[in-house]
Structure 1
């Protein structure tokens, strides 16, 4: 896109020299700015905004061009050498970010903070103000284009106290707000990392000197982000957490060990760092007790291929085989359930009661799944709005989701004898802010831009002042014609015209012979003389001058009004985010239950009887993944098998070796 040439290692080295040693003179003011910003973000590829492009220079350009497969070119010279450069268009940046993030890179987004015209007012050599507005890392993504909608995206931190053996692992999903912590140790860490499956793991820099710890972390598939050990201070972490959640202490959320507090607080610190203060919505921290579910070591989890095959693919896993969910939230919920199977018979029975309720009522199940199928991803829309990265389409997603939730609530209220798990979900849906949905339904236009700054997202008729400004902007001719007709009637001069030129702007013109009529004392307004021509006289009025100013600024005012309304709606959303989040979680749970019921009916699965005894008796057992693979390959049907490990005498001896 910019001609092709090659950069050199010398260019990158000299850029590093400039960043480290400001005494080395830069070649241009722009390059001075670039190197100062780059110096503050040495571990990230810097996307430097230049008009309609994000441009990269020096070593960043060489790395990005190689990963993205785009042309590497040059832009001027620095210290006598060509500056390697590449760029990507702003409108397509998500596509390029996705590639870089998947290759393990972090990206610092550096935006223009003012219009170039403002910079010119400070002098011809002034540089447009720029700064990093966000660091994009594997664990801090919220954009749908960069995420698998059916998969959680965990950012995790590992912390410990000096001299203590106990570790703590905290994690969150920025797109849903889940925020949790668990105690662990070096013997169990690999299992916990495999269960949580973080995209990114923040850990003390000293951990990088422990090969076994690094091996476990890398085998989890996480990108590693080391921070100085001082950032893991538990006292500072507690202060940060109580401040963020506006509480006097964390006691209301649980009894946390100091290592857990350090892990949670450092995670919040990292979010504040990468999001440049725009921390997304986080639910209150919860303690995750691995004892509530089956303890599965990392090797066993991988070999079971619960959510991913040994090759890392979703297709062919148990999750892909049994997934009948119709919403992104439901798919994420199902993946979470498979990731930590229940071990408590009462909890298992409670969940199976929900599945059985939908399996036994076909019409309810069908109606619910049809309503859920139109449900947008409210959790991730809420996350983007909370992080100040949302737009009108995210408001529309919440509107549509809440309206669908209202229909689903009515549907479930009409059902009889709902089990406890479904009643809990119904209470979560009932708590949704349906009034907000109604306001958004009235306010939002049918066609919405991606960005609020593009305008045009508020529906006509919602706000009188906005309609007036749009009329001035879009229908200037009609507005001027109406005023001209009124002035012609007022003066009795049919030939009166309102015209426009670049010198006078708008003016009123009449024949020279009619000038006296324009200055009559009997007129209700004053026509001010502007210019005399050979055969015409030109006038103006205070009303026309005011109208001209309003027309000139109508576009800006219309956008300002829309942005004000947008900010107001975002504030309303954030005020209701707890109930929106709870409603979205309840809808995901309902989708999961209904999907498992659909699976049971279609595949003719039977409900197991689960208790605390040691009896294990399976009749006609089938393997879902193998059965599906045989059917897909067109082979013979899977042959069911019985398995009984019940009875008074032991039936199985398991011999293991070193």
Structure 2
């Protein structure tokens, strides 16, 4: 049952009326309301907070009205609690006390100070260093006859802001590539919301916004206002109309969530599919590029093997590179040449790694500084990182790689800002602003003077303490301080009879009395006034420093991008050296040649004790499709995947695990691997398989690489084999893409005799008297055995099952199966011929003349098989 939020009734206390007024402005958010030292939530919000955080749900008196549900937590621990709420998909708004309760005349003034959503957060408790956190907007626009989808996505913590204008069919792949935390949709797009919720993880939050926010006129004004420009031609996005609308929606949403310091977001760029390879979800999943199929973690993925980056900016960029391989040969070659230079110049590579490791996360530090969420220590760390820019330039200025030289030239030295940071922030600055003392002495004369007043006054207090001890004869008399009573003289009860008459009592304790005197009051006022002014001035100076840093946002971001790119190239060079990778040749032709290629992940898992078996792979104009047969566990799937990963690495700009490789440029990699279903969407294993197959046939081109690991296994043998055969013909004759097809349908070996561009290969085994040894070597020719029973034996099947399976297989091969006692002849005749057909390798190859068949002399099984063959012949 849904419980609605409480509306004002007129009987609430003043504070609750204040709460409800704020809640009415943000009905879709959990409202955290500052009350003293706690953030409290009420009504339905309290129930949600209690359930999400597993904290006690209490009740609060509401004047004449009924008591209301309440749940809260200490304000000093708010970051952790808010992070937990946001990770569970909630959007949170924070309402703080903006005046000192002791100074308030009546109700304490409160205002919204922060809004946190899954896509708009700067919290280290929520963010992961090596992952981007994207807020995404979708807009749909019809231009002419075609309806286009505009996608805009931004990481507010790094200022990466990109847009894409795509067809409706590309939306799913694009969203799965971006992996946003939050998606913004127009309220009219309810149907599309359901589609999104099917294709993205459940933790992704979909936020519905008013339709007017998606109007072209409104969004164009928003973009022009933010970037202070009359035209978007300078960004190269003027023709991406739907994407511009999405970008405007993102900026409006950021403004709505009170992100009012966005000057550090200085650019928006177009994601152009002409320059980058689009990887669909199945390809990313099947090749295990950034996560393993087993548990979804990075363990066992290509990213885990390749990532040798030294800072978070490089790690995030590496993920993006792996998911968006290049399609421009010139840029691929620039990267490969840079990796080669670092690989050969060991000393330069080592020094580069040391410098990169000393540079902090410039992107996220800048975002926090520009939005005044940073601490002094982080500002100083950013300054120290920028001081390393000249070192990078000096190291790479003479590199033989034009790419490295260009990157070093594009770095910008910011000596003025680094000098100011060094002068302003004390090296021993704490992690918070609360206690002050983080601005260096000598940076501001007014601050130095205030500190001097406070320091001298404190010295005078010690003089007063000594003087009063002498006057009263109380040697234990002390001058102390607390926030409630300020400065006071404390005298033990045993000495209270010695207290002079001019002492004014302030507080009585169990064992002591506290007093003040006129002279102490005078110094107290000097100290507290100076300290208060000092803290306010220090905060002002720090804000001004942050704004100075933010004014250099464009240059800092350019340095951050270059540092991240250098980090990725450094990572590739480390892989090349550590794993014996070689520089591939990437050309415009349609061939592909890999000599002794290896699977980059499996060879690391196997290690030195079990060296990975390398294999060649070759395509040219005459050899376009390789049909790979052989038993399970013999290495067919690994062979397919390793060649897909070698192509991907080459077009990312990385060296590859092989003795040599020449890659004809690939526009897309398609994979169809394994058996899975999507029962939540009503899709069976076979339907999922056919959907994936249809996607390949409809989108692959002559320049694509297709990896098929079993087709047609989710249906009957005849149906499945027919589909596999027809797909093979279509790919060969129509698409002409380079294709690796691993299959247990040995009948497909006949394709080699029918088509010039199809060749048979098989995964070799050695069969002994009692076992089968898998050599995992791919050689020319077809296999005629899948050794399924041997694999079942290795899996630990009961010996009785293995024995009976061998008997049945032997009988089927002789067309003489010994059926269990009690089986009726009618049951045998009702058996589907296609089930028997699977085992009758020799029988399928025989060509009987129709008039030579004597049905009466055949066994029931033989008759069924022959009748099916006649039916097929008649159909042809």
Alignment of 1:79-118 (within 5 A): 80-118=65-103
| Paired residues, number | 586
Deviation at 1:396, TM superposition (A): 1.7
- The answer to which structure, 1 or 2, has the higher relative contact order (CA under 8 A, 6+ apart) is 1
**Cα deviations across residues 12-55 of structure 1 (Å, max 9, x unaligned)?**
54xx241xxx4x12431111111111121111111111233221
Instruction: Give the corresponding residue for 1:644.
Output: 618
Structure 2 portions without partners, runs of 5+: 465-478, 482-486, 489-501, 503-517, 628-705, 707-723, 731-876
Instruction: Give the corresponding residue for 1:138.
Output: 118
Change (3 A) 1:223 1:316: farther
Change (3 A) 1:30 1:217: farther
Residue of structure 1 aligned with 2:173, choices 191, 194, 216: 191
The reply on whether 1:257 has 2:237 as its aligned counterpart is no
Contact 1:57–1:86 under 8 Å retained in 2: yes
Separation (CA, whole Å) in 2 of partners of 1:29 and 1:17: 15
Range moving further from structure 2, 165-174 or 221-230:
221-230
Deviation at 1:444, TM superposition (A): 1.0
Alignment of 1:196-595 (within 5 A): 196-210=178-192, 213-215=195-197, 218-219=200-201, 222-254=204-236, 255-279=238-262, 281-310=264-293, 311-413=295-397, 416-429=398-411, 431-478=412-459, 550-595=526-571
Residue of structure 2 aligned with 1:160, choices 117, 140, 145: 140
Equivalent residue of 2:594, what SS? strand
Deviation at 1:79, TM superposition (A): 6.6
Structure 1 portions without partners, runs of 5+: 1-8, 484-499, 507-530, 532-539
Deviation at 1:147, TM superposition (A): 0.5
Contact 1:617–1:643 under 8 Å retained in 2: yes
Deviation at 1:546, TM superposition (A): 9.8
Contact 2:142–2:148 under 8 Å retained in 1: no
Computing the radius of gyration from Cα coordinates, the structure with the larger value is: 2
Separation (CA, whole Å) in 1 of partners of 2:61 and 2:281: 52
The reply on whether 1:66 has 2:51 as its aligned counterpart is yes
Deviation at 1:215, TM superposition (A): 4.0
Change (3 A) 1:197 1:272: same
Instruction: Give the corresponding residue for 1:630.
Output: 606
Separation (CA, whole Å) in 2 of partners of 1:64 and 1:228: 27
Contact 2:436–2:535 under 8 Å retained in 1: yes
Separation (CA, whole Å) in 2 of partners of 1:411 and 1:286: 30
Contact 2:13–2:62 under 8 Å retained in 1: no
Separation (CA, whole Å) in 2 of partners of 1:200 and 1:640: 43
Deviation at 1:177, TM superposition (A): 0.7
**Cα deviations across residues 307-343 of structure 1 (Å, max 9, x unaligned)?**
2234432222211221000100010110110110112
Deviation at 1:113, TM superposition (A): 1.5
Change (3 A) 1:162 1:219: farther
Separation (CA, whole Å) in 2 of partners of 1:200 and 1:157: 8
Range moving further from structure 2, 300-309 or 75-84:
75-84
Alignment of 1:6-85 (within 5 A): 13=4, 16-18=5-7, 22=8, 24-77=9-62, 80-85=65-70
Separation (CA, whole Å) in 1 of partners of 2:395 and 2:37: 48
Separation (CA, whole Å) in 1 of partners of 2:262 and 2:37: 27
Deviation at 1:187, TM superposition (A): 0.8
The reply on whether 1:608 has 2:567 as its aligned counterpart is no
**Cα deviations across residues 507-543 of structure 1 (Å, max 9, x unaligned)?**
xxxxxxxxxxxxxxxxxxxxxxxx9xxxxxxxx99xx
Equivalent residue of 1:190, what SS? helix
Contact 1:180–1:285 under 8 Å retained in 2: yes
Contact 1:359–1:598 under 8 Å retained in 2: yes
Separation (CA, whole Å) in 2 of partners of 1:331 and 1:607: 22
Contact 1:190–1:220 under 8 Å retained in 2: no
Equivalent residue of 2:298, what SS? coil
Residue of structure 1 aligned with 2:108, choices 128, 132, 136: 128
Contact 2:6–2:43 under 8 Å retained in 1: no
Deviation at 1:101, TM superposition (A): 1.6
Deviation at 1:295, TM superposition (A): 2.0
Deviation at 1:450, TM superposition (A): 3.6
The reply on whether 1:181 has 2:163 as its aligned counterpart is yes
Instruction: Give the corresponding residue for 1:524.
Output: none
Instruction: Give the corresponding residue for 2:802.
Output: none
Contact 1:280–1:387 under 8 Å retained in 2: no
Deviation at 1:305, TM superposition (A): 2.3
**Cα deviations across residues 153-210 of structure 1 (Å, max 9, x unaligned)?**
1111000236861111011111111111111122111111111111111111122234
Separation (CA, whole Å) in 2 of partners of 1:173 and 1:46: 24
Change (3 A) 1:78 1:194: farther
Change (3 A) 1:73 1:215: closer
Report the TM-score, using the length of structure 2 for normalisation. 0.63
